[in-house]
Amino acid sequence: MVCLAARVANDGLLAIYERRRSDLRRFLVARSGSDADADDLMNELWIKVSGMDSGPIGNPDAYLFRMANNVVLDRIRETRRRERRERDWSAERHGQDALVSEAVDRSLSAEQALIVNDEIERLRDAVGQLPPGAGRVLRMHKLEGLGHGEIAAKLGISKSAVEKHMAVAMAHLRRILLD
């Protein structure tokens, strides 16, 4: 271990990065699911590694792979934040119906898109037929992403009442959509 730590201090983490480049890339392809994303992540990792002051590191391989995994996690967090911003912007700009219409995959064939749009319309009609309390609770939970406790606090009702409204809503939707 001490010998390896001394070698890291002499060669630097960048030299070990270069030696393990193909292994790191395979790791990133497996984590990201894409060759192009893995190449981008390799560049980000190289920037991080090249900017570091390399000191004694007990296990440089594990350290590099941990850095690579952190780069992947950073990318995932960034993507989620961007999607949340875009969803919020779309909902603010176009209303809640935009959230439902965005669920249609634009790569679908025309026939598939018509089927999906028909299903969305049936779902929208079914939600519109819900009793007022159940509809409000369903929208808050499914569209706004609020938990049962948060909904109960906002509406001034018990958590049990929220659960009952959700049960009514789900039973109603199942009944309508299965017919």
pLDDT digits (tens, 9 = 90+) for 41-64: 999 999 888 888 767 888 999 999
Greatest mean pLDDT among 12-26, 44-58, 113-127 lies in: 12-26
Confidence of residue 2 (pLDDT cuts 50, 70, 90): very low
d(CA 175, CA 168): 11
d(CA 129, CA 138): 12
Please tell us whether the domain made up of 97-178 is placed in CATH 2.102.10.10. Answer: no
Please tell us whether the domain made up of 2-91 is placed in CATH 1.10.1740. Answer: yes
Has residue 107 got a pLDDT over 80? no
Burial environment of residue 139 by CB neighbours within 10 A (0 to 12, 13 to 18, 19 or more): middle
What is the SS3 assignment for 5?
helix
Confidence of residue 22 (pLDDT cuts 50, 70, 90): very high
Q: What is the DSSP letter of 51?
A: T
Mark out the alpha helices in 51-158 (DSSP H runs). 60-94, 97-101, 110-128, 132-138, 148-155
Q: Residue range 133-150: average pLDDT?
A: 86
pLDDT score, position 108: 67
d(CA 58, CA 8): 9
Q: How many helices (H) and strands (E) does the chain have?
A: 10, 0
Note the pTM of the prediction, 2 decimals. Answer: 0.46
